[in-house]
Amino acid sequence: MRNVKFKETHFEDCYFEDIKSTDTLFENCTIINTVFYNTDLWPDSKFIDCNFNNVTFVHPKSGCHLNFQDENDILICLVSFLGSLSVLPGNIIACFLMDKIGRIKIIGSSMLVSSGCTFFLFLCFSPGAVISIQCLFFAASAAAWNGIEVITVELYPASKRATAFGVLNGLCKLAAIISTFIFSKFVGITKIVPILLSFSALACGGLLAFKLPETREVILQ
């Protein structure tokens, strides 16, 4: 029952047990004297305009309750598209300002803007505001990454860059696992902790970036 759609179907004296579905949906169904035991068939998301009579849901599985009555797939694709599209202006701005204001200012200011975006999530109370902040965050992050990729080539030889990128990639994977664990623990309680952790990390990185030596208009040895 991973991808089944029941439409105008009559269920009576049925017993559903240990069912894990993906896109299973009940629409305009009549369900009588039925038990759903240990399933992810949640009454608030998997049943549309159904008539219930003596229906029991026992030990429902935990998980994300998607509302299939809304066009979630279109919204998800639109948000992903806007997020990917917002990287383009960040790359263009970094390209034009790289030699004018310097690599360090690009990295530091972009990371500080990214930290500001995470902090302003406190003020987002609508999907449109969250999407706008997300696009601004992606654009600022893209500019910072462009600056990092340029300055590392100009400051350090290939041997040091290869070792540093390998170590940092490993640390990033570990940090991603830890951050996902922390986010999952606090997202259902309060959004303050994940936001403040992200804000602190980006703000500290942005301030430390200004300590790097500037390579603009410097002859490389």
- Pairing mode of beta strands 51-58, 15-19: unpaired
> Got the DSSP string for 79-120?
HHHHHHHTHHHHHHHHHHHHHHH-HHHHHHHHHHHHHHHHHG
Amino acid letter, 147: G
End-to-end CA distance of the chain: 66
Q: How far are the Cα atoms of 11, 14, 60, 63, 121 from residue 111, in angstroms, in the given order?
A: 57, 57, 43, 34, 16
Q: How far are the Cα atoms of 35, 101, 113, 209 from residue 139, in angstroms, in the given order?
A: 50, 18, 10, 18
Q: How far are the Cα atoms of 15, 83, 100, 133, 148 from residue 90, in angstroms, in the given order?
A: 55, 11, 16, 14, 14
Q: What's the topology of domain 5-58? A: Pectate Lyase C-like (2.160.20)
* Domain regions of the chain by residue span: 5-58, 87-209
Q: Residues 88-138: pLDDT tens digits?
A: 988 898 888 888 888 888 999 999 999 998 888 888 878 788 888 889 999
Q: Residues 147-200: pLDDT tens digits?
A: 888 888 888 888 888 888 889 889 989 988 888 888 877 766 777 888 888 899
pTM confidence score: 0.63
